[in-house]
Chain A
Amino acid sequence: MRLSPTGALRHSGNLFAMALDVVRTMPRRPFQAREFIQQAWFVASVTILPTALVSIPFGAVIALQIGSLTRQLGAQSFSGAASVLAVLREASPIVTALLIAGAGGTAICADLGARKIREEIDAMQVLGIDPIHRLVVPRVLASMVVAVLLNGLVSVVGVAGGYFFNVVLQNGTPGAYLASFTTLAQLSDLWAAEIKALVFGAIAAIVASYKGLNAKGGPKGVGDAVNQSVVITFMLLFVTNFVMTAVYFQVVPQRG
C-alpha cells in the first residue's frame, strides 16, 4: 500500500460522504424490512452472549474498586451510588460499543467485503439496485437498534453484578446499596447512555460497511478491511464518547 498525504483525508471524506448517503437514503421507500429484521437478529445473536459475559466482570471490577475506596473514606453508603453512576454513564455505552464494533461490525464488514470481491456488489449496482439502500441502511438501523437494546442489557447486568459483589463478597449493606441508587445518578444519565449507544451503533455499522464495500485485492483484502474497520471504529468511538460526555455535562445539570 502506498502512503500519500492526501490518502487519509480522502478516506475520511469518502467515509463521511457515505454516512451522508446513508442518512439521505434512509427515508427512501420501499424500506428493506426483511433485510433489517434479519440483520437485527444476526447482530443481536452474535453480541448478546458476549455482552452479558463481559458486563458481569465489568460491573464486578467497578464494584471492587469503588468498594475498597469508599471503605477507606468511610463512605460505604455511597458505594451503590458510585457504582451505578459508573456503570450507567460510561461502562455500558463503552462495553456496548466495543461489542457492536467487535462482533457485529466485523461480521458486517466481512460479509460486505466478501460480496464486494465476488463482484456481487457490482452486479447489484448494474441491476439498478443501490447497495446503500438495499444493504447498508438496514444494517446501520439494525446495529443502532441492537446497540440501544444491548446498552439496556449491559446496564442491568452490570448493576446486578456490582450489587452481587458489593453485597455478597464485600459484605456491603443491601439496603444502603439500593437506597443510594439515585443519590448521584439520575434518569437523564440513562437517556444520555442510550443516545450514546445509538450513535455508537450507527458509527460502527457505517465504518464496517464503508470498509467492506471498498475492500479490494481478494480474500486478503477482506481481512485487511475487517482489521481496519475495527481499529477505525474504536478510535472514532472513543473520540465521540469524549465529545458526547463533555457536551452532556454542559447541557444537563448534575446532582450532588
Chain B
Amino acid sequence: MGVEICVEGLTKSFGHQVIWQDVSLTLPAGEVSVMLGPSGTGKSVFLKTLVGLLKPDRGSVKVAGRDITKLREHELYEVRKLFGVLFQDGALFGSMSLYDNIAFPLREHTRKSESQIRRIVLDKMDMVGLIGSEGKLPGEISGGMRKRAGLARALVLDPEIILFDEPDSGLDPVRVAYLNQLIVDLNAQINATFLIVTHDIASARQVPDNIGLLFRRELVMFGPREELLTSDEPVVRQFLNGRMQGPIGMAEEKDAAQVEQELARLGDADRKPRHVGNDMTPRLMPGPGIARPPRWEAIARREAELHRKAVTGA
C-alpha cells in the first residue's frame, strides 16, 4: 500500500525567476511528509509539479517507477488516478452540489451503479463529517466545509498518494486540530503516502514522519521529523520556532552579518546542546477507534519511549 515518490534534481523557473532548483527527496511509501517554507517559496508550485500540472525545467519525479515529467498526456491521466489532491480552497465544481462533486470521479472513472456510488459517497462524507449537507452548493458553505468536501472528493477513488495544499489556511485552530487528527486517522486507515504543504508550525511538529523545508530557492533540508526538530541549521530552527531572529527576513532574506548579530543577541541559551526531549512535541496518534497498522504500532512504542525519557529527565 502507498507508493513512493522519488524526486531528483527538480528545478522550476517562471521566465527568469527561479522558483527552486535541484530539489531531491524521496517521499517514503505510506508515510506522512510535510513540506514547509515561508510564503512565496513555491510550495504550491512544487505540489503541482508532482502531479504533472506544471512541467519542471529539469529533473525527474518518479511515481511507482514512472517519470511523471516524461509521460505523454494520456499516460499522465492514468498515473494521476493514483493521486488524490486537496486544493487550497477545495477546488469544488461550483455548479454541482457537494454530493455530485464527491460522486464525480466515480461517475467518470468507474462503472459503478448509482446505489454503489451513493454508498461510497455517503461513507466518505461521513468520514469528513459532512452528512446532511449533500444537496448544498459549494458557494453556500464555509471554507472549512469546502476543504472537507474537497478531501472527501480526493479520497473517493482510494488514492495511493494524497497531497494537501495548505489544509490549514483560513481555518480556526480548533478546526485545524480536527483536520490534523483526520489526516493521521486517514493515514492509519488507508496507508497511502501523504504530502502536506503548509506553513503551520504546530501541524508540522505534530503530524508528520518527515519534514522538508524550502527556502532561498532550494530545499534546505528533508528528513525524519526528529532530525529537523532538533536540527541546529539556522533556517530550520528559525522557521520551526516561528521567530524573527535568523536568516529569513520579512521581504526575502537578510545579510549574513545581521543574522550573526541577531543570533548572538538571542543568547547562549539557544545554542547550548539540548537533549532530544526538549524540542519534541508529542506526536499526534490515530484516534482510539482506529485500528493501528504495524507502522503506527511502532510509532506509538517509540513515542512512549521518548515520553518516558523526557519525564525521567534522562
Contact = CB atoms under 8 A, between A and B. Distances in A.
Nearest to A114: B94
A128 B73 CA distance: 10
Given A126-B80, A127-B80, A130-B73, A119 B105 contact: no
Nearest to A38: B95
Given A122-B48, A123-B85, A129 B91 contact: no
A120 B94 contact: yes
B91 A118 contact: yes
A35 to B, nearest CB: 11
Interface in A101-147: 114-115, 118-120, 122-130
Centre residue among B77, B78, B84, B104 by max chain A CB count within 10 A: B77
Contact of B80 (A115, A118, A119, A125): A125
A120 B91 contact: yes
Given A127-B108, A129-B108, A119 B77 contact: no
A122 B73 contact: no
A128 B78 contact: yes
B108 A126 contact: no
Contact of A118 (B51, B83, B89, B157): B89
A38 B81 CA distance: 28
Interface residues of B, number: 26
Interface residues of A, number: 15
A193 B151 CA distance: 50
A127 B84 CA distance: 7
Nearest to A122: B53
Contacts of A125: 51, 53, 77, 80
B13 interface: no
Interface in B78-102: 78, 80-81, 83-85, 87-89, 91-94
Interface in B88-141: 88-89, 91-94, 104-105, 108-109
Given A122-B87, A123-B87, A128 B81 contact: yes
B94 A118 contact: yes
Contacts of A127: 80, 104-105, 108-109, 153, 157
Contacts of A129: 77, 108
A115 B83 contact: no
Nearest to A2: B15
A123 B104 CA distance: 11
B92 A120 contact: yes
A224 B77 CA distance: 30
A128 B79 CA distance: 8
B109 A128 contact: yes
B48 A128 contact: no
The 6 closest A-B pairs by CB, nearest first: A123-B91, A119-B91, A126-B85, A128-B81, A119-B87, A128-B80
Given A127-B109, A128-B105, 4 more contacts: A118-B91, A123-B85, A127-B157, A130-B73
8 contacts: A119-B88, A122-B53, A123-B93, A125-B80, A126-B51, A126-B53, A127-B105, A127-B109
Interface of A: 2, 114-115, 118-120, 122-130
Interface of B: 15, 48, 51, 53, 73, 77-78, 80-81, 83-85, 87-89, 91-94, 104-105, 108-109, 150, 153, 157
